[in-house]
Structure formats: C-alpha cells, structure tokens
C-alpha cells in the first residue's frame, strides 16, 4: 500500500539544541518513575524506522467528533469536541463517559480539543484545551478510579485568556521531555496576532504544569515560538528535537522543527519563503494533500494525521535511517498511507506493542457528518527496509 510522493519538497536539516531544562521556580518537573512526560510510549520494534504494513484493526466505532486520544495506563481517554465529553475506552472495547468538561462552548472548530496527562507528587492529572464562551483555555482535572471506572475531579485553570474564534484555535497540548507543558494556539482568524509579541495567539506556548512561566523561556511570557497560523500537532524525537505540524492557508501546510524564540513567519510567509528573518519548514505539503492535525513519533519515525488529505503521513528525517532502509540520508522524505480509506484523520498516538493508534474525525467544522461514523483504528507497524 506504500506509495512514494512525487517530490513535494526536500529540505536539508540541521540538528537543534536539546530543549531547555526545568524552571528553578517550579519543583522538579521530571516525570516520576513510571509516569511518562507524554503519551505512554510502546516497546520499540527495533532501531527504526517503521511504517504501516497495511494491516488495521478497528478498536471502537460511533465516536462523536473526536479530537484527541490519550492512553492512560491500561485505559484510553478520547475527547469529544462538540459535546465536551471525555470518554473512556475499556479493554473490552466499551465506551463510557468519564466526565463532561465544564464550560465547553463548541462552535465551528472550537470545543473540547487536546488532552494530556501527567502525574505530579502522586496525583494523576488530565489536562484539557477547551473553548469557552469567552476564550480558549487549558485546565486540569485530577484522575481517579481504575480501568473501566475512571473519574475526573473539579477543573483547575492552568492558562486562560487565549483569543477564540470559529476557526484557527490550535488546541494540541503535550508534556515535553523537560516536563513542561507545550500548547499550540492558532491566530483565531486574525493573522497579525501571530507576529504580535503581546498576544498569545499564533504561538506555541510553554508553561509549567501549574501554568507559571518557566524562567528559561525565551521571552518573559509563555511564548516559546511565534509566527504560527494554526498548529495542531507537536512531538519530540529521541534527540530532543521538537516538531510541529501546521495548517497553511491556501498553498502550503508545514512540518516545522521548533526552537525557542524563533519566528516561523506567518502571515508574512506561508511555507518555504527563503527569508532569513523566519524559519522555513522542514517539509511542506499542498493543503489538499495534508491539512495536518495530530503528530507523534514511533521509533524515530514521525506520523502525521491529515484531515483534508484523508491519509496518514509517515515521515523520515534522514538522521535515523539505517543502511538499506527507505529514505535519504540527511533529508526529509514522506509517504502517504490509507489514502481516503478512513476519511479525515485527526490524531495519532503510539499504541501498544509497537503499533500506532489513530482516530478519524469525519465531522467537519460546520457539524456536517459523513455517512461513516468516527472510529479508533490500530495500525500495525514493521521495520521499514527495502527489498
């Protein structure tokens, strides 16, 4: 099922510095033993890279405009954008409501969006990015109960006051290797916000688990990088590089390597602009081929969900490609899988036993469903070696 893309773009990469350390104003934020900083990583298949074999298994159907999938221990939580529900998927394949997040005011692309998890001093927390009547914000709720009976406590505000709109809300959240919470925030329909240092919109933000500004942030604010239109995916490879997937406007969608304090150009530049004042993407796609959302890493292979493109992108950065494997040394290459087979793909995360999980989102931003309901799908991966 693998098809190689007609040479969309090949860009040289330079390795970025490792992410900055924890803030001195926050208690130690490295994950306690057994508490990963991001979505639980599966046991590796090998040294990588990996690719889908074409084998898939539907784990759940009937999902209602799902946006984020979050494995927590032996359970899995899924956010429903429009209803504000967080659903638990049990090992038996049943769906049950774990909580309804308060104050969710869904409209257009806004609603209950990204989820993340963190254990701090013995308390398990679930973090959520949501749209309210007044703003976009990040909250956290304590996680209680066991497999099949998870519960969520009262909401605590982590960060609020992000401008909202019917589109360009961003919404992905994840804990980085440094224990800090990273938040993607769209320009909320006002492109100039992305270049405005006083605005938190059109940015990728970095805060402590309680929402404080780390002392080693590049600016005296939550802003970590700027010049973004609508980023909806973030992930880290083993070397500490941070990657982000981003919706373009009419021409180019982007995959960027994120470095602190850097400007990624929107709205002055869309895609590769060759302007020294802005960071060019590591890779770009036409908007019909991607419209990217979730992003994850398995065995140093990036996997990116595509909405309008209705496919899963497998991306190799060239740094971790062993001899005899598909890919070009020192450059980006990307391959599409499941073209149109599952419709719009919203999120991807590592699954158990070296697999990949993805959720579909076949309800568009105007609330119009397609005939097929949304589902959680397990994708089998195998080492990617030619021959």
DSSP string, 128-186: EEEE-SS-EEEEEEEEES-TT--EE---EEEEEEE---SS-----EEE-TTS-EEEEE-
- Count of Cβ atoms closer than 10 Å to residue 210 Cβ: 15
Taking residues 174-196, report their average pLDDT.
98
Taking residues 344-348, report their average pLDDT.
97
Structure confidence at residue 301 (pLDDT): 93
Structure confidence at residue 319 (pLDDT): 57
Residue 54 preceded by cis peptide, ω within 30: no
Predicted confidence (pLDDT) at residue 4 exceeds the cutoff of 60: no
Sheet arrangement for strand 252-258: 230-236, 242-247, 252-258, 283-286
Burial class (CB in 10 A: 0-12, 13-18, 19+), 6: exposed
Sheet arrangement for strand 301-306: 292-298, 301-306, 311-316, 333-337
Kindly state the tokens that stand for 257.
Answer: 């390597």
Q: Which residue has the higher pLDDT, 194 or 24?
A: 194
Predicted confidence (pLDDT) at residue 354 exceeds the cutoff of 70: yes
Residue 243 Rama label (left phi>0; alpha psi -120 to 50; beta): beta
Q: Which residues pair with 180 in a beta bridge?
A: none
Structure confidence at residue 385 (pLDDT): 66
Structure confidence at residue 327 (pLDDT): 44
Condensed to tens digits (0 to 9), the pLDDT of residues 256-303 reads: 999 999 999 999 999 999 999 999 999 999 999 999 999 999 998 999
Structure confidence at residue 33 (pLDDT): 26
Taking residues 39-62, report their average pLDDT.
73
Nearest Cα to Cα of residue 67 among 38, 106, 99? 106
Task: Supply φ then ψ for residue 354, to 5 degrees.
Answer: 75, 20
Q: Where are the domains of the chain?
A: 50-383
Structure confidence at residue 34 (pLDDT): 27
Q: How high does pLDDT run on average in the chain?
A: 84
Nearest Cα to Cα of residue 185 among 228, 140, 245? 228
> In which band, very low, low, confident or very high, does the pLDDT at 18 lie, cut at 50, 70 and 90?
very low
The residue count for the chain: 387
- d(CA 278, CA 59) in angstroms, rounded, equals 42
Condensed to tens digits (0 to 9), the pLDDT of residues 106-160 reads: 999 999 999 999 999 999 999 999 999 999 999 999 999 998 899 999 999 999 9
Superfamily designation of domain 50-383: TolB, C-terminal domain (2.120.10.30)
Structure confidence at residue 333 (pLDDT): 84
Long-range (24+ apart) CB contacts under 8 A made by 89-98 are: 89/59, 89/60, 89/376, 90/147, 90/148, 91/147, 91/148, 92/148, 93/59, 93/60, 94/148, 95/60, 95/62, 95/63, 96/148, 98/150, 98/151, 98/152
> In which band, very low, low, confident or very high, does the pLDDT at 349 lie, cut at 50, 70 and 90?
very high
CA angle at 349 for the pair 48 and 362, rounded to the nearest 5°: 125
Segment (H or E) for 117: strand 112-120
Q: Which residue has the higher pLDDT, 97 or 13?
A: 97
Taking residues 206-210, report their average pLDDT.
98
Condensed to tens digits (0 to 9), the pLDDT of residues 303-329 reads: 999 999 999 999 987 654 445 444 444
């Amino acid at each position: 099922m693998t098809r190689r893309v007609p040479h969309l773009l090949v860009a040289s990469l330079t390795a970025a510095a490792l992410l900055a350390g924890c803030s001195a104003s926050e208690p130690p934020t490295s994950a306690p033993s057994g508490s990963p900083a991001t979505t639980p990583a599966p046991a590796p298949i090998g040294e990588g890279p990996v690719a889908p074999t074409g084998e898939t298994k539907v784990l759940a159907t009937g999902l209602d405009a799902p946006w984020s999938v979050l494995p927590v221990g032996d359970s899995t939580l899924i956010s429903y954008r429009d209803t504000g529900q967080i659903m638990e998927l049990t090992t038996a394949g049943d769906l049950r409501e774990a909580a309804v997040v308060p104050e969710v005011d869904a409209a257009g692309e806004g609603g209950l969006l990204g989820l993340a998890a963190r254990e701090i001093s013995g308390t398990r927390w679930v973090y959520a990015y949501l749209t309210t009547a007044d703003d976009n914000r990040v909250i956290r709720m304590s996680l209680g109960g066991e497999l099949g009976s998870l519960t969520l406590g009262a909401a605590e505000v982590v960060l609020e006051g992000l401008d909202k709109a019917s589109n360009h809300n961003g919404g992905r959240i994840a804990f980085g290797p440094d224990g800090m919470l990273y938040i993607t925030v769209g320009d909320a329909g006002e492109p100039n916000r992305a270049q405005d240092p006083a605005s938190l919109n059109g940015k990728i933000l970095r805060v402590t688990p309680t929402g404080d500004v780390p002392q080693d942030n590049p600016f005296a604010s939550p802003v970590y990088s700027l010049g973004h239109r609508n980023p909806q995916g973030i992930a880290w490879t083993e070397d500490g590089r941070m990657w982000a997937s981003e919706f373009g406007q009419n021409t180019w969608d982007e995959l960027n390597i994120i470095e602190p304090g850097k400007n990624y150009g929107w709205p002055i530049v869309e895609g590769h602009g060759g302007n020294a004042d802005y960071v060019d993407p590591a890779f770009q796609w036409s908007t019909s081929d991607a419209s990217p959302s979730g992003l994850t890493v398995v065995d140093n292979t990036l996997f990116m969900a595509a909405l309008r493109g209705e496919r899963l992108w497998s991306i190799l950065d060239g740094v971790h490609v062993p001899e005899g494997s598909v890919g070009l040394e020192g450059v980006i290459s990307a391959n599409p899988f499941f073209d149109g087979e599952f419709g719009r793909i919203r999120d991807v995360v590592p699954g158990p036993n070296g697999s990949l999980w993805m959720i579909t989102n076949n309800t568009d931003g105007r609330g119009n469903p397609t005939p097929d309901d949304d589902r959680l799908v397990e994708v089998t991966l195998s080492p990617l070696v030619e021959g």
